[in-house]
Structure 1
Amino acid sequence: MQIRYFFRSTRAVAESAYARLEPAFEDEGAPLAITEIDEAAGLWEVAAYLEVAVGDDGEAVSGDERAEEFRAAAGLGADVEIGCEVLPDKDWMADVLAELKPVRAGRFVVHGAHDRDKIGAHELSIEIEAGMAFGTGHHGTTAGCLTLIDRVVRKRRPRAVLDLGTGSAVLAIALAKLARLAVIATDIDPVAVSVAAQNVRANEVAGLVETVRADGFAVPAVRRRAPFDLIVANILAGPLIRLAPDFRRHAARNADVVLSGILVEQAPAVRAAFRAQGFAHRETLVMGEWVALHLRRLAI
């Protein structure tokens, strides 16, 4: 039986606990996840998917022990509430793959290995397998970014490109395949960086895409490549607003910026933060409740 154990707290506590959990459950191969669940409240969730022994009556016989193991591994006090959720015994990956259909945006098609035969001769294939926490490219924000990237690169070929918060590396792979562009792809999560590197190799663009762990722009590999002619970032509105001054410091004059992970109601605040840093609005794509933005740094 598999049970999802989780707790919710501030980002600092969540990141510290996640870092502790990784080595604690590494040998077991237990999936872990860290997710921002309420941006306004600054609330994050950390979860571990742990196997639990089952008795003859079908009930978990070590559930409480595993909950305390999770608490201790995460370095949490007795006052922190540990939630648990029993997961149905089913082939989750098979169900996910069955539901995922190829996504087309611009010249790109994001798909799993099971849909390779559905890709047209003139389409740019981005193959991403379903995973626990890093994205398959099927979210509307990704399609919006891919569409804007296609439009930007058709008109202006950048030389230095950054994919900030790369996740599964969908956008970095797209840029590399679209125009053989060299891309540096960063993420704050070391596990995401590892998954991104695997996807880069699987899509045969390892010679063009460098994957690096970084919190924002604060890493030597990013500073060495700056200034960038194109920066793409599909993260969240709050971090984008906080990082707006860093975007300016690392963007070349007339650089293009493609942003998403932004709810419709958050778009004005994001545009205002970047306008204050000298970025002009070029285009907005609306995908349901989400938007993707194309901005350009003014040559001043």
Structure 2
Amino acid sequence: MSIPRACLIGCVLASLASVAQADDEDAAASRAPDGQYAVMRGVQGPAGMFAARLLLGFNVSAGKAGDPISFAPDLYYSVTDTLQLGLVHDGPMGWQSRPGLGFCLTGQDHGCPHVYDNVGFDAMYGVSVGAVRLSTHTSLFLSHFSPVTMSLALGVMGKARLGSNVALLLDPKIAIELTERDTIDDALYVPLELQFQVGASTTLKLLTGLSAGLSTFADSYEIPVGIGLLQNLTRHLDIGLRFSFDNLLGHEPMGVGRADSRSLALLFNARS
């Protein structure tokens, strides 16, 4: 069995197993304090919380600075302690996604074929708390509107506390193409963060991950390397900054250096 197919089967089975083992009383999502000590937070909010994650992304690649600039808002509502629903725009790699998703602001001559051409619908179900927090994670992505291209992403988001000030966050998923299977490959996405609480209000994040087409894995895999900083301002507001080499360790396309593809993002988190 190939590695990509094994990843697909494992990811789906993990999602199904997590749902089957969930218990409404002891599988509630995190009630960790808002605001300070972000490393202590879970992967979902408590019942009744509305959250917005607003990402302003800039392409700073070699010869393409500012082409494009985009604004990707993600909106979430926690229906219960275990169920969270969302309307998302930043893609399967989360805030490590390259600029161009959501509202593309720089026009056709600067990397934006359309102003608005993608949206996603997100659902998370919390199944464990404690030192390891785990939620099943399902997303329906519309990548283009005309013609419509659609994929279903199945996976698990987890956060493991490795100490009082360190946590590992990962969100592996398989995206199954639903509409254009003859031309668009199923894909694997694994965003990963190593988080360090360097102060009560400040979190440093080392960012990496993996993305690849399943049938073209060896020729398409990308591994970003980046750094992020999250600063809490109030119980209800964070700001953040990310810089990434978008494919520093992945397959190197012909004519593109490993350090040539770069992106910068400003992050605003707001919570009710």
Which TM-score tier does this pair reach, normalised by the shorter chain?
A: 0.3 to 0.5
Greater fraction strand: 2
Structure 2-normalised TM-score? 0.35
User: Which structure has the highest helix share of the two?
Assistant: 1
